[in-house]
Amino acid sequence: MIFKVYYQEDQVRNPKREDTKSLYIDAATEVEARALVAENTKHNIEFIEPLEGKFLEYEQENPDYKLTEFNK
């Protein structure tokens, strides 16, 4: 399943909506998606949203859509 992860790049500063970024990741569960991002980045994860059906199709139309893959 594809998940959209909303995050702040810095864990030290207070989150600001204007600084929120997102990435897309393929994982079996939301827990696995959170673990992958936590293990491979220093991002402050705000929210993880599952994408499927029309929601996924809409996101895939965005030119910035790209699945993030981490080297194991």
Q: What integer is the mean pLDDT of 19-40?
A: 95
How much is the pTM? Answer: 0.88
CA–CA separation, 22 and 9 (whole Å): 10
CATH code of 2-61, in short, is 3.10.20
Q: Which two tokens stand for residue 52?
A: 């499927």
CA–CA separation, 38 and 24 (whole Å): 14
Given a cut of 90, whether residue 71 has pLDDT beyond it is no
Average pLDDT of the chain, as a whole number: 92
